Amino acid sequence: MTHPSVEQVWEWLGTLPDPEIPVITLIDLGIIRGVTWEGDTLVVTVTPTYSGCPATSMINMDIEALLREKGIENLELRRQLSPAWTTDWMTDEARAKLEEYGIAPPQPAGGPSRCPRCGGTHLEKLSQFGSTPCKAQWRCQDCLEPFEYFKCI
Amino acid sequence: MAEVDNTALLQFLLRTGDNTLILGHRVSEWCGHAPILEEDIALANTALDLIGQTQLWLGYAAEVQGMGKSADDLAFLRDVWDFRNVLLVELPNGDFGQTLMRQFLFDAWHSIMLPRLAKGTDERVREIAQKAVKEVSYHVERSADTVVGLGDGTEESHARMQAALDYLYPYVGELFESDEVDAAMVDAGIAPDPASLRDEYDALVGRVMEKATLTVPDGSFAHKGGRTGRMHTEHLGHLVSSMQWLQRAYPGSEW
């Protein structure tokens, strides 16, 4: 029997949303690092965002459920730690989608460049930690709304 | 570089993973109890990072041990005398200020140790450290800021932070103790001699305490015995009995 191609598998995986920020996909996030066939086994390599992120096990479950549904029988999910995940791997599309969703995308400067709601640039950090390990809490002093910022890592 | 023997590597990994496990558990005790929501979230996030790192450290420890155990087995099925964390991390939380002071004293060491491990000769240790150091750079930034904010705060917060520093400081010395396990790690190029990190640590802690208007106590007396397993404080047993409650009541149960 012939295997679905690697490209086909990437296409399927591209439909999987991040469980905590469903507006972006797992591929947008840059955490799926490889798809290969090793003999009859499909190996999908996934890297965690933060080492204790509770979404990691959910993500693995979503990947497995999807690929089983697509008829993949021999599947191995491999965890890859190195090189460690970085927000640099996030696609430009993902950054745009995050901002539209109300989460300021990561910036090399270490803080958001503008308020995702009003575009204001007078911003203050409320806390380096937010509702998920990957986010911080900020506030816009122009529109006074709090917002989340996806931290650089 | 010398070949490392697995007994020493296992001890090193248990020490590293038990530090993050026990501190992670302690910090998680704040969940739902912190003075304000932002701090509650920050403490829970920090605990989560530390416990995530523990899974990696103890997961590797279990492999090196080679007895078919998992990180969970090591965390939940060992008894108190088998833990190898430093005494500092098992101390009770005290008030919010004491919790953040302990966090800073640990984060400062962690943020200096991990970049060394990230450049060592053991690939697995290197990978875990490279991952962890990114998280810890956020931890130390926040705990340092909070120590400064509370130390250089009101009369009340200043007094509490000074009391916390006076109480915790004698537990700092154990982080820089060296024994034959450390010597084996140095010989194999896996980890630095802990004692060699002291100057950098003192400089960092000194800078933060000065900004916080707090006085680092004199004296070099150090409570120790945790990382060698010779003697823990009475507090660890209570922590472990709460952390391991489920596995003790329902052995082998799984989510």
pLDDT, one tens digit per residue, over B42-72 is 999 999 999 999 999 999 999 999 999 999 9
Chain centroid offset of residue B42 CA: 17
- The residue-averaged pLDDT of B90-116 equals 98
CATH of B6-249, one of 1.10.150.110, 1.10.1660.10, 3.30.70.20, 1.20.1260.10: 1.20.1260.10
Residue pLDDT, tens place only, B107-150:
999 999 999 999 999 999 999 999 999 999 999 999 999 999 99
Residues of B whose CB is below 8 A from A125: none
Check CB contact of A106 with chain B, cutoff 8 Å.
no
Query: What is the extent of the structural domain holding A53?
Result: 6-85
The pLDDT value recorded for residue B82 is 96
Residues of B whose CB is below 8 A from A133: 45, 48-49, 135
Nearest-CA distance B178 → chain A (Å): 28
Minimum Cα–Cα distance from B51: chain A residue: A52
Nearest-CA distance A125 → chain B (Å): 11
Is there a single domain that holds both residue A103 and residue A41? no
Helix axes B234-243, B6-28, angle to 10 degrees: 80
The pLDDT value recorded for residue A1 is 59
A60, amino acid identity: N
In degrees and rounded to multiples of 5, residue A123 shows phi and psi of -125, 150
Is there a single domain that holds both residue A77 and residue A110? no
Residue pLDDT, tens place only, B3-16:
788 999 999 999 99
Is there a single domain that holds both residue A101 and residue A120? yes
Residues of B whose CB is below 8 A from A81: 56, 127-128, 130-131
Residue to test with chain A: of B134, B143, B145, most A Cβ within 10 A: B134
Q: In the structure, what pLDDT confidence band is assigned to residue A14 with cuts at 50, 70 and 90?
A: very high
**Is B1's pLDDT higher than 80?**
no
Nearest-CA distance B223 → chain A (Å): 30
Helix axes B37-65, B123-151, angle to 10 degrees: 150
Nearest-CA distance B219 → chain A (Å): 34
Looking at the DSSP bridge assignments, the partners of residue A123 are A140
Check CB contact of A89 with chain B, cutoff 8 Å.
no
For residue A55, give the CATH number of its domain.
Answer: 3.30.300.130
Minimum Cα–Cα distance from B36: chain A residue: A127
The pLDDT value recorded for residue B9 is 97
The pLDDT value recorded for residue A110 is 80
Nearest-CA distance B221 → chain A (Å): 35
Record: contact A153-B134, CB cut-off 8 A: yes
Nearest to B88 by CA among B174, B16, B199: B174
Task: Provide the total of helices (H) and of strands (E) in chain B, helices listed first.
Answer: 11, 0
What's the complex ipTM? 0.84
For residue A98, CA distances in Å to A56, A67, A146, A150, B37 come to 19, 26, 15, 9, 24
**Beta-carbon contacts of residue A135 (< 8 Å; ≥ 6 apart):** A103, A129, A148, A149, A150, A151
Record: contact A127-B138, CB cut-off 8 A: no
Check CB contact of A60 with chain B, cutoff 8 Å.
no
Minimum Cα–Cα distance from A135: chain B residue: B45
The pLDDT value recorded for residue A54 is 82
Minimum Cα–Cα distance from A48: chain B residue: B131
Query: Looking at A49, A66, A85, which one is the last position of a domain?
Result: A85
Is there a single domain that holds both residue A105 and residue A72? no
> How much of chain B, in percent, has pLDDT values that exceed 70?
99
Nearest to A62 by CA among A14, A103, A8, A101: A14
The pLDDT value recorded for residue A55 is 86
**Beta-carbon contacts of residue B61 (< 8 Å; ≥ 6 apart):** B10, B13, B14, B17, B71, B74
Check CB contact of A2 with chain B, cutoff 8 Å.
no
Token readout for B21 is 């496990």
Is there a single domain that holds both residue A110 and residue A127? yes
Is there a single domain that holds both residue A12 and residue A73? yes
Higher-confidence residue of A97 and A109: namely: A97
If one counts the domains in chain A, the total is: 2
Minimum Cα–Cα distance from B126: chain A residue: A82
The pLDDT value recorded for residue A17 is 94
> Mean pLDDT across chain B, nearest whole number?
96
The pLDDT value recorded for residue A56 is 86
Distance between CA B152 and CA A109 in Å, rounded? 28
CB-based contact B17:B61 (threshold 8 Å): yes
Nearest-CA distance A95 → chain B (Å): 21
Say if A1 falls within a structural domain: no
Say if A34 falls within a structural domain: yes
Pairing of strands A103-104, A146-150: parallel
Record: contact B138-A128, CB cut-off 8 A: yes
Minimum Cα–Cα distance from B20: chain A residue: A52
Interface A-B: count of C-beta contacts within 8 A? 69
The pLDDT value recorded for residue A131 is 85
Q: In the structure, what pLDDT confidence band is assigned to residue A138 with cuts at 50, 70 and 90?
A: very high
Is there a single domain that holds both residue A27 and residue A51? yes
Residues of B whose CB is below 8 A from A128: 42, 138, 141-142
Check CB contact of A39 with chain B, cutoff 8 Å.
no
Is there a single domain that holds both residue A49 and residue A22? yes
Record: contact A84-B130, CB cut-off 8 A: yes
**Is A108's pLDDT higher than 90?**
no
Distance between CA B213 and CA B230 in Å, rounded? 36
Query: Looking at A40, A60, A85, which one is the last position of a domain?
Result: A85
Q: Where are the domains of chain B?
A: 6-249
Looking at the DSSP bridge assignments, the partners of residue A136 are A149
Minimum Cα–Cα distance from A47: chain B residue: B131
Distance between CA B99 and CA B103 in Å, rounded? 6
Is there a single domain that holds both residue A124 and residue A145? yes
Name the residue among A85, A126, A153 with its Cβ closest to that of B38. Answer: A126
